[in-house]
Structure 1
Protein backbone atom coordinates (compact mmCIF):
# COMPACT_ATOMS: atom_id res chain seq x y z
CA UNK A 1 0.00 0.00 0.00
CA UNK A 2 1.34 3.40 -0.92
CA UNK A 3 2.24 5.48 2.10
CA UNK A 4 0.10 8.57 2.58
CA UNK A 5 1.50 11.59 4.41
CA UNK A 6 -1.06 14.41 4.62
CA UNK A 7 -2.14 17.15 6.97
CA UNK A 8 -5.81 17.29 7.88
CA UNK A 9 -7.28 20.66 8.96
CA UNK A 10 -10.34 20.40 11.19
CA UNK A 11 -12.92 22.99 12.12
CA UNK A 12 -16.28 22.96 13.86
CA UNK A 13 -18.01 22.49 10.53
CA UNK A 14 -16.14 19.22 9.77
CA UNK A 15 -17.06 17.41 12.98
CA UNK A 16 -19.87 15.47 11.38
CA UNK A 17 -17.52 14.11 8.70
CA UNK A 18 -14.49 13.35 10.83
CA UNK A 19 -16.45 11.96 13.73
CA UNK A 20 -18.33 9.41 11.69
CA UNK A 21 -16.87 6.53 13.70
CA UNK A 22 -16.46 6.30 17.47
CA UNK A 23 -15.50 4.01 20.32
CA UNK A 24 -18.85 2.79 21.51
CA UNK A 25 -17.87 0.12 24.02
CA UNK A 26 -19.43 -3.29 23.73
CA UNK A 27 -22.16 -3.32 21.08
CA UNK A 28 -24.64 -6.03 20.21
CA UNK A 29 -23.03 -8.55 17.89
CA UNK A 30 -25.86 -8.25 15.39
CA UNK A 31 -24.85 -4.68 14.68
CA UNK A 32 -21.15 -5.37 14.12
CA UNK A 33 -19.76 -5.66 10.62
CA UNK A 34 -16.21 -6.78 9.93
CA UNK A 35 -14.19 -4.43 7.74
CA UNK A 36 -10.58 -4.05 6.68
CA UNK A 37 -9.10 -0.67 7.66
CA UNK A 38 -5.68 0.85 8.31
CA UNK A 39 -4.20 2.95 11.10
CA UNK A 40 -2.59 5.98 9.44
CA UNK A 41 0.37 7.20 11.52
CA UNK A 42 1.44 9.79 8.97
CA UNK A 43 -1.46 12.19 9.36
CA UNK A 44 -1.15 15.38 11.40
CA UNK A 45 -3.96 17.68 12.48
CA UNK A 46 -4.66 21.36 12.99
CA UNK A 47 -7.66 22.83 14.78
CA UNK A 48 -8.31 26.43 13.75
CA UNK A 49 -4.72 26.86 12.64
CA UNK A 50 -3.09 25.30 15.70
CA UNK A 51 -1.42 21.87 15.82
CA UNK A 52 -3.51 19.23 17.55
CA UNK A 53 -2.76 15.62 18.48
CA UNK A 54 -5.78 13.40 19.15
CA UNK A 55 -5.49 11.54 22.45
CA UNK A 56 -7.44 8.89 24.30
CA UNK A 57 -8.78 9.23 27.85
CA UNK A 58 -5.34 8.34 29.28
CA UNK A 59 -3.55 10.96 27.20
CA UNK A 60 -2.08 8.48 24.71
CA UNK A 61 -1.74 9.58 21.09
CA UNK A 62 -4.40 8.22 18.74
CA UNK A 63 -3.77 7.66 15.04
CA UNK A 64 -6.74 8.05 12.73
CA UNK A 65 -8.24 5.04 10.97
CA UNK A 66 -8.32 5.17 7.17
CA UNK A 67 -11.19 3.30 5.52
CA UNK A 68 -12.42 3.76 1.95
CA UNK A 69 -10.36 6.95 1.60
CA UNK A 70 -12.03 8.45 4.68
CA UNK A 71 -10.26 9.25 7.98
CA UNK A 72 -12.01 8.35 11.22
CA UNK A 73 -11.17 9.87 14.64
CA UNK A 74 -12.93 9.00 17.94
CA UNK A 75 -15.77 11.33 18.85
CA UNK A 76 -14.34 11.88 22.34
CA UNK A 77 -11.09 13.23 20.91
CA UNK A 78 -12.91 15.57 18.52
CA UNK A 79 -15.17 16.79 21.32
CA UNK A 80 -12.22 17.57 23.56
CA UNK A 81 -10.53 19.57 20.80
CA UNK A 82 -13.55 21.61 19.82
CA UNK A 83 -15.32 22.10 23.13
CA UNK A 84 -18.20 19.75 22.37
CA UNK A 85 -19.32 17.57 25.26
CA UNK A 86 -19.60 13.88 24.40
CA UNK A 87 -21.90 11.30 25.93
CA UNK A 88 -22.60 7.71 24.88
CA UNK A 89 -25.68 5.81 26.01
CA UNK A 90 -24.65 2.16 25.93
CA UNK A 91 -28.24 1.00 26.37
CA UNK A 92 -29.60 2.81 23.34
CA UNK A 93 -26.23 2.87 21.51
CA UNK A 94 -26.60 6.63 21.00
CA UNK A 95 -23.85 9.23 20.82
CA UNK A 96 -24.81 12.71 21.96
CA UNK A 97 -22.74 15.81 21.18
CA UNK A 98 -23.52 19.12 22.87
CA UNK A 99 -21.80 22.46 22.79
CA UNK A 100 -19.38 23.84 22.27
CA UNK A 101 -19.23 24.43 26.02
CA UNK A 102 -17.15 26.93 27.91
CA UNK A 103 -15.44 24.11 29.75
CA UNK A 104 -13.90 22.50 26.64
CA UNK A 105 -10.34 22.96 25.48
CA UNK A 106 -11.49 24.32 22.16
CA UNK A 107 -9.48 26.87 20.32
CA UNK A 108 -12.57 27.49 18.21
CA UNK A 109 -14.51 30.63 19.10
CA UNK A 110 -18.28 30.39 19.21
CA UNK A 111 -20.27 33.33 17.94
CA UNK A 112 -21.18 35.37 21.03
CA UNK A 113 -24.83 35.85 21.81
CA UNK A 114 -25.58 39.57 21.85
CA UNK A 115 -26.68 40.86 25.23
CA UNK A 116 -30.29 41.98 25.33
CA UNK A 117 -30.72 45.73 25.29
CA UNK A 118 -31.65 46.91 28.74
CA UNK A 119 -34.05 49.82 28.92
CA UNK A 120 -33.49 51.81 32.11
CA UNK A 121 -36.48 52.02 34.39
CA UNK A 122 -38.24 55.38 34.19
CA UNK A 123 -37.58 57.75 37.07
CA UNK A 124 -40.62 58.11 39.28
CA UNK A 125 -41.46 61.42 40.91
CA UNK A 126 -43.76 62.15 43.82
CA UNK A 127 -47.22 63.44 42.99
CA UNK A 128 -47.21 67.26 43.21
CA UNK A 129 -50.74 67.26 44.64
CA UNK A 130 -49.54 65.64 47.87
CA UNK A 131 -45.94 66.76 48.32
CA UNK A 132 -44.11 66.88 51.62
CA UNK A 133 -40.74 68.54 52.15
CA UNK A 134 -39.04 65.14 51.87
CA UNK A 135 -40.85 64.41 48.60
CA UNK A 136 -39.87 67.80 47.21
CA UNK A 137 -36.20 67.22 48.10
CA UNK A 138 -36.30 63.79 46.46
CA UNK A 139 -37.92 65.17 43.28
CA UNK A 140 -35.46 68.07 43.14
CA UNK A 141 -32.36 65.90 43.53
CA UNK A 142 -33.57 63.36 40.95
CA UNK A 143 -34.18 66.05 38.33
CA UNK A 144 -31.52 68.60 39.27
CA UNK A 145 -29.44 70.18 36.55
CA UNK A 146 -25.69 69.65 36.38
CA UNK A 147 -24.98 73.08 37.83
CA UNK A 148 -27.68 72.93 40.47
CA UNK A 149 -26.57 71.88 43.96
CA UNK A 150 -27.81 68.85 45.83
CA UNK A 151 -30.31 69.70 48.57
CA UNK A 152 -29.90 67.82 51.85
CA UNK A 153 -32.76 67.30 54.29
CA UNK A 154 -30.60 67.83 57.35
CA UNK A 155 -29.75 71.35 56.12
CA UNK A 156 -33.32 72.52 56.73
CA UNK A 157 -34.09 74.51 59.86
CA UNK A 158 -37.60 74.97 61.21
CA UNK A 159 -37.93 78.74 61.39
CA UNK A 160 -39.29 80.63 64.35
CA UNK A 161 -42.34 82.41 62.96
CA UNK A 162 -44.85 82.66 65.85
CA UNK A 163 -47.64 84.28 63.80
CA UNK A 164 -47.33 81.96 60.81
CA UNK A 165 -50.20 79.56 60.12
CA UNK A 166 -47.82 77.07 58.52
CA UNK A 167 -44.52 75.45 59.41
CA UNK A 168 -41.75 77.30 57.59
CA UNK A 169 -38.50 75.48 56.88
CA UNK A 170 -35.49 77.64 56.01
CA UNK A 171 -32.58 76.42 53.93
CA UNK A 172 -29.38 78.20 53.04
CA UNK A 173 -26.67 76.89 50.76
CA UNK A 174 -23.78 78.38 48.80
CA UNK A 175 -23.03 75.91 45.97
CA UNK A 176 -20.08 75.73 43.59
CA UNK A 177 -18.59 79.18 44.19
CA UNK A 178 -19.06 82.34 46.20
CA UNK A 179 -21.06 83.96 43.38
CA UNK A 180 -23.81 81.33 43.38
CA UNK A 181 -26.23 81.28 46.29
CA UNK A 182 -29.61 79.85 47.14
CA UNK A 183 -31.74 81.02 50.04
CA UNK A 184 -35.23 79.61 50.23
CA UNK A 185 -38.10 78.67 52.49
CA UNK A 186 -40.59 75.78 52.31
CA UNK A 187 -44.10 76.24 53.71
CA UNK A 188 -45.98 73.17 54.96
CA UNK A 189 -49.34 72.51 56.54
CA UNK A 190 -48.80 72.06 60.30
CA UNK A 191 -51.21 69.11 60.51
CA UNK A 192 -50.81 67.17 57.26
CA UNK A 193 -47.20 68.12 56.49
CA UNK A 194 -48.12 68.77 52.84
CA UNK A 195 -45.96 71.28 51.02
CA UNK A 196 -47.89 74.28 49.78
CA UNK A 197 -45.21 76.75 48.74
CA UNK A 198 -41.49 77.07 47.98
CA UNK A 199 -39.78 80.47 47.76
CA UNK A 200 -36.19 80.34 46.42
CA UNK A 201 -33.94 83.36 45.96
CA UNK A 202 -31.24 82.47 43.43
CA UNK A 203 -28.06 84.44 42.87
CA UNK A 204 -25.30 83.64 40.39
CA UNK A 205 -24.63 82.38 36.85
CA UNK A 206 -26.75 79.20 37.03
CA UNK A 207 -30.16 80.74 37.63
CA UNK A 208 -31.98 78.85 34.84
CA UNK A 209 -30.58 75.46 35.84
CA UNK A 210 -31.48 75.96 39.49
CA UNK A 211 -34.95 77.30 38.63
CA UNK A 212 -35.69 74.24 36.48
CA UNK A 213 -34.60 71.98 39.35
CA UNK A 214 -36.94 73.79 41.76
CA UNK A 215 -39.81 73.62 39.27
CA UNK A 216 -39.16 69.89 38.76
CA UNK A 217 -39.23 69.30 42.50
CA UNK A 218 -42.45 71.19 43.03
CA UNK A 219 -44.36 70.26 39.85
CA UNK A 220 -43.57 66.54 39.92
CA UNK A 221 -40.60 66.04 37.60
CA UNK A 222 -38.70 67.60 34.67
CA UNK A 223 -41.38 66.78 32.09
CA UNK A 224 -43.88 68.95 33.94
CA UNK A 225 -41.27 71.65 34.49
CA UNK A 226 -40.35 71.71 30.79
CA UNK A 227 -44.02 71.82 29.80
CA UNK A 228 -44.54 74.85 32.03
CA UNK A 229 -41.35 76.55 30.77
CA UNK A 230 -42.28 76.07 27.11
CA UNK A 231 -45.94 77.04 27.37
CA UNK A 232 -45.13 80.24 29.23
CA UNK A 233 -41.85 81.11 27.44
CA UNK A 234 -40.53 81.26 30.96
CA UNK A 235 -36.83 81.68 30.19
CA UNK A 236 -37.67 84.64 27.96
CA UNK A 237 -40.03 86.15 30.50
CA UNK A 238 -37.47 86.15 33.32
CA UNK A 239 -35.51 88.69 31.25
CA UNK A 240 -38.52 90.89 30.45
CA UNK A 241 -38.16 94.67 30.53
CA UNK A 242 -40.10 95.13 33.79
CA UNK A 243 -38.36 92.23 35.52
CA UNK A 244 -38.48 94.05 38.86
CA UNK A 245 -42.29 93.81 38.79
CA UNK A 246 -43.57 90.38 39.90
CA UNK A 247 -45.22 88.37 37.14
CA UNK A 248 -47.45 85.39 37.83
CA UNK A 249 -47.75 82.24 35.71
CA UNK A 250 -50.10 79.26 36.01
CA UNK A 251 -49.57 75.52 35.62
CA UNK A 252 -52.32 73.04 36.52
CA UNK A 253 -53.12 73.73 40.20
CA UNK A 254 -49.91 75.68 40.76
CA UNK A 255 -48.99 79.34 40.55
CA UNK A 256 -45.46 80.50 39.79
CA UNK A 257 -44.37 84.06 40.50
CA UNK A 258 -41.08 85.62 39.43
CA UNK A 259 -39.28 88.92 39.89
CA UNK A 260 -35.68 90.16 40.09
CA UNK A 261 -34.02 92.31 42.69
CA UNK A 262 -31.21 94.36 41.17
CA UNK A 263 -28.49 96.26 42.96
CA UNK A 264 -25.87 95.02 45.38
CA UNK A 265 -27.67 91.69 46.01
CA UNK A 266 -28.97 91.10 42.45
CA UNK A 267 -30.98 87.87 42.77
CA UNK A 268 -34.00 86.20 41.13
CA UNK A 269 -36.96 85.51 43.40
CA UNK A 270 -39.29 82.63 42.58
CA UNK A 271 -42.47 81.61 44.37
CA UNK A 272 -44.03 78.24 43.52
CA UNK A 273 -47.27 77.60 45.36
CA UNK A 274 -50.58 75.83 45.11
CA UNK A 275 -53.76 77.60 44.08
CA UNK A 276 -54.29 78.54 47.71
CA UNK A 277 -53.34 82.13 48.63
CA UNK A 278 -49.55 82.46 48.87
CA UNK A 279 -47.81 83.15 52.15
CA UNK A 280 -46.56 86.68 52.72
Structure 2
Protein backbone atom coordinates (compact mmCIF):
# COMPACT_ATOMS: atom_id res chain seq x y z
CA UNK A 1 0.00 0.00 0.00
CA UNK A 2 1.38 3.38 -0.98
CA UNK A 3 2.19 5.83 1.81
CA UNK A 4 1.23 9.22 0.45
CA UNK A 5 0.16 11.25 3.50
CA UNK A 6 0.58 9.64 6.90
CA UNK A 7 1.15 12.63 9.13
CA UNK A 8 -1.70 15.08 9.66
CA UNK A 9 -0.45 18.54 8.84
CA UNK A 10 -2.80 20.03 11.42
CA UNK A 11 -0.92 18.17 14.15
CA UNK A 12 2.66 18.25 12.93
CA UNK A 13 3.57 21.54 11.29
CA UNK A 14 7.04 22.37 12.56
CA UNK A 15 9.50 21.40 9.83
CA UNK A 16 12.62 20.93 11.94
CA UNK A 17 15.91 20.57 10.06
CA UNK A 18 14.46 22.10 6.88
CA UNK A 19 15.36 25.58 5.74
CA UNK A 20 12.48 27.76 4.55
CA UNK A 21 13.59 30.66 2.37
CA UNK A 22 12.70 34.32 2.53
CA UNK A 23 9.93 33.68 0.05
CA UNK A 24 7.83 32.39 2.93
CA UNK A 25 7.97 35.74 4.75
CA UNK A 26 4.75 37.32 3.35
CA UNK A 27 2.62 34.52 4.82
CA UNK A 28 4.38 34.13 8.18
CA UNK A 29 2.46 35.19 11.26
CA UNK A 30 4.26 35.97 14.49
CA UNK A 31 3.03 34.06 17.56
CA UNK A 32 4.12 33.50 21.15
CA UNK A 33 4.66 29.81 21.91
CA UNK A 34 6.58 27.63 24.34
CA UNK A 35 9.22 24.97 23.86
CA UNK A 36 7.82 21.98 25.74
CA UNK A 37 10.67 19.87 27.13
CA UNK A 38 8.37 17.92 29.44
CA UNK A 39 6.84 15.60 26.86
CA UNK A 40 7.96 11.96 26.70
CA UNK A 41 7.48 9.96 23.50
CA UNK A 42 7.13 6.30 22.61
CA UNK A 43 6.92 4.71 19.16
CA UNK A 44 5.60 1.15 19.07
CA UNK A 45 6.20 0.95 22.80
CA UNK A 46 9.83 2.09 22.64
CA UNK A 47 11.15 5.35 24.04
CA UNK A 48 11.96 7.96 21.39
CA UNK A 49 13.17 11.57 21.28
CA UNK A 50 13.02 13.94 18.29
CA UNK A 51 16.42 15.11 17.06
CA UNK A 52 17.65 17.31 14.23
CA UNK A 53 19.92 16.24 11.37
CA UNK A 54 22.97 16.68 13.61
CA UNK A 55 21.54 14.53 16.39
CA UNK A 56 20.69 17.48 18.65
CA UNK A 57 17.59 16.90 20.78
CA UNK A 58 14.52 18.93 19.80
CA UNK A 59 11.56 20.08 21.88
CA UNK A 60 7.93 20.15 20.85
CA UNK A 61 6.21 23.53 20.61
CA UNK A 62 3.00 24.13 22.53
CA UNK A 63 0.67 26.83 21.22
CA UNK A 64 -3.03 27.31 22.01
CA UNK A 65 -3.26 23.86 23.62
CA UNK A 66 -1.89 22.19 20.49
CA UNK A 67 1.49 20.47 20.38
CA UNK A 68 3.64 20.74 17.25
CA UNK A 69 6.40 18.27 16.45
CA UNK A 70 9.27 18.48 13.89
CA UNK A 71 8.06 16.78 10.72
CA UNK A 72 11.51 15.65 9.56
CA UNK A 73 12.29 13.91 12.85
CA UNK A 74 8.85 12.29 13.16
CA UNK A 75 8.89 11.20 9.53
CA UNK A 76 12.24 9.46 9.92
CA UNK A 77 11.05 7.71 13.08
CA UNK A 78 7.93 6.41 11.33
CA UNK A 79 9.70 5.52 8.08
CA UNK A 80 7.88 8.21 6.09
CA UNK A 81 9.77 10.20 3.45
CA UNK A 82 9.84 13.97 4.04
CA UNK A 83 10.93 16.58 1.51
CA UNK A 84 10.41 20.32 1.09
CA UNK A 85 10.22 22.31 -2.13
CA UNK A 86 11.39 25.82 -1.27
CA UNK A 87 10.29 27.43 -4.54
CA UNK A 88 6.67 26.29 -4.21
CA UNK A 89 6.74 26.12 -0.39
CA UNK A 90 5.34 22.59 -0.52
CA UNK A 91 5.93 19.98 2.17
CA UNK A 92 5.86 16.47 0.71
CA UNK A 93 5.22 13.43 2.89
CA UNK A 94 5.37 9.82 1.73
CA UNK A 95 5.55 8.66 -1.87
CA UNK A 96 5.86 11.32 -4.58
CA UNK A 97 3.78 11.39 -7.74
CA UNK A 98 6.79 12.27 -9.92
CA UNK A 99 9.65 9.80 -10.28
CA UNK A 100 13.31 10.73 -9.89
CA UNK A 101 15.98 8.62 -11.66
CA UNK A 102 18.44 7.08 -9.20
CA UNK A 103 21.29 8.81 -11.04
CA UNK A 104 19.78 12.21 -10.18
CA UNK A 105 20.86 11.65 -6.59
CA UNK A 106 24.44 11.26 -5.39
CA UNK A 107 25.82 7.81 -6.21
CA UNK A 108 29.05 6.47 -4.80
CA UNK A 109 30.31 3.73 -7.13
CA UNK A 110 32.35 0.81 -5.89
CA UNK A 111 35.70 0.00 -7.49
CA UNK A 112 34.04 -2.22 -10.12
CA UNK A 113 30.97 -0.07 -10.86
CA UNK A 114 30.36 3.17 -12.71
CA UNK A 115 27.52 5.49 -13.72
CA UNK A 116 26.81 5.50 -17.44
CA UNK A 117 24.68 7.13 -20.14
CA UNK A 118 26.20 4.90 -22.83
CA UNK A 119 23.35 3.64 -24.99
CA UNK A 120 24.93 0.22 -25.35
CA UNK A 121 23.80 -0.24 -21.73
CA UNK A 122 20.89 2.19 -21.32
CA UNK A 123 18.91 0.94 -24.34
CA UNK A 124 17.27 -2.31 -23.30
CA UNK A 125 14.51 -4.12 -25.18
CA UNK A 126 13.86 -1.09 -27.39
CA UNK A 127 13.60 1.39 -24.51
CA UNK A 128 16.20 3.98 -23.52
CA UNK A 129 16.49 4.18 -19.73
CA UNK A 130 18.81 7.20 -20.18
CA UNK A 131 21.21 6.37 -17.34
CA UNK A 132 22.12 3.80 -14.75
CA UNK A 133 24.97 1.94 -13.11
CA UNK A 134 27.09 -0.85 -14.57
CA UNK A 135 28.34 -3.41 -12.06
CA UNK A 136 31.15 -5.49 -13.51
CA UNK A 137 33.58 -8.19 -12.38
CA UNK A 138 30.80 -9.80 -10.32
CA UNK A 139 31.87 -13.08 -8.76
CA UNK A 140 31.48 -14.75 -5.37
CA UNK A 141 32.75 -11.59 -3.66
CA UNK A 142 30.35 -8.65 -3.19
CA UNK A 143 30.43 -5.79 -5.70
CA UNK A 144 28.39 -2.72 -4.79
CA UNK A 145 27.45 0.95 -5.09
CA UNK A 146 25.58 3.38 -2.81
CA UNK A 147 22.66 5.73 -3.55
CA UNK A 148 22.25 8.68 -1.16
CA UNK A 149 18.47 9.11 -0.92
CA UNK A 150 18.58 11.47 2.12
CA UNK A 151 15.19 10.40 3.48
CA UNK A 152 13.32 12.08 0.61
CA UNK A 153 11.75 9.00 -0.98
CA UNK A 154 9.29 6.29 -0.01
CA UNK A 155 9.66 3.71 -2.80
CA UNK A 156 12.22 2.44 -5.28
CA UNK A 157 11.44 0.95 -8.68
CA UNK A 158 14.52 -0.90 -9.89
CA UNK A 159 15.35 -2.80 -13.07
CA UNK A 160 18.31 -5.16 -13.48
CA UNK A 161 19.55 -6.21 -16.93
CA UNK A 162 22.18 -8.85 -17.72
CA UNK A 163 25.15 -7.49 -19.66
CA UNK A 164 27.47 -10.47 -19.53
CA UNK A 165 26.05 -13.01 -17.08
CA UNK A 166 27.56 -16.47 -16.77
CA UNK A 167 25.55 -17.79 -13.80
CA UNK A 168 22.75 -16.66 -11.47
CA UNK A 169 23.47 -13.40 -9.68
CA UNK A 170 21.94 -12.21 -6.42
CA UNK A 171 21.30 -8.43 -6.40
CA UNK A 172 20.41 -7.07 -2.96
CA UNK A 173 19.19 -3.62 -1.94
CA UNK A 174 19.93 -2.78 1.69
CA UNK A 175 19.18 0.04 4.12
CA UNK A 176 22.20 -0.31 6.39
CA UNK A 177 22.12 -3.94 7.54
CA UNK A 178 18.45 -4.39 6.63
CA UNK A 179 17.72 -6.28 3.42
CA UNK A 180 14.88 -4.53 1.57
CA UNK A 181 14.84 -6.64 -1.59
CA UNK A 182 16.72 -9.45 -3.31
CA UNK A 183 16.56 -9.93 -7.07
CA UNK A 184 17.95 -13.01 -8.82
CA UNK A 185 18.98 -12.62 -12.45
CA UNK A 186 20.39 -15.32 -14.69
CA UNK A 187 22.05 -15.56 -18.08
CA UNK A 188 18.74 -16.41 -19.82
CA UNK A 189 16.80 -13.53 -18.28
CA UNK A 190 16.06 -10.34 -20.21
CA UNK A 191 15.33 -8.23 -17.15
CA UNK A 192 14.23 -8.42 -13.54
CA UNK A 193 12.21 -5.59 -12.00
CA UNK A 194 10.86 -4.80 -8.55
CA UNK A 195 9.06 -1.96 -6.76
CA UNK A 196 9.19 -1.75 -2.97
CA UNK A 197 9.05 0.51 0.07
CA UNK A 198 12.39 1.96 1.23
CA UNK A 199 10.90 3.67 4.29
CA UNK A 200 12.62 7.07 4.03
CA UNK A 201 16.10 5.52 3.96
CA UNK A 202 18.97 8.01 3.93
CA UNK A 203 21.13 5.79 1.75
CA UNK A 204 20.77 2.50 -0.06
CA UNK A 205 23.46 -0.03 -0.88
CA UNK A 206 23.10 -2.15 -4.01
CA UNK A 207 25.34 -5.20 -3.88
CA UNK A 208 25.70 -8.22 -6.11
CA UNK A 209 27.50 -11.55 -6.15
CA UNK A 210 27.18 -14.89 -7.90
CA UNK A 211 25.23 -17.71 -6.28
CA UNK A 212 27.90 -20.18 -7.40
CA UNK A 213 31.67 -19.96 -7.35
CA UNK A 214 32.71 -19.46 -10.97
CA UNK A 215 35.99 -18.72 -12.68
CA UNK A 216 34.47 -16.06 -14.94
CA UNK A 217 33.23 -12.62 -13.87
CA UNK A 218 29.79 -11.26 -14.85
CA UNK A 219 28.34 -7.78 -15.48
CA UNK A 220 24.89 -6.24 -15.03
CA UNK A 221 23.18 -2.88 -15.68
CA UNK A 222 21.04 -1.41 -12.89
CA UNK A 223 18.62 1.48 -13.30
CA UNK A 224 15.49 2.73 -11.61
CA UNK A 225 13.42 5.53 -10.18
CA UNK A 226 12.75 6.92 -6.70
CA UNK A 227 9.31 8.10 -5.60
**Which protein, 1 or 2, shows the higher relative CO under an 8 Å CA cutoff with sep ≥ 6?**
2
TM-score, structure 2 as length reference? 0.37
Whichever of the two has the greater Rg, that structure is: 1
Q: TM-score, normalised by structure 1?
A: 0.31
Structure whose residues are more often strand by fraction: 2
Relative to its length, the structure with more helix (as a share) is: 1
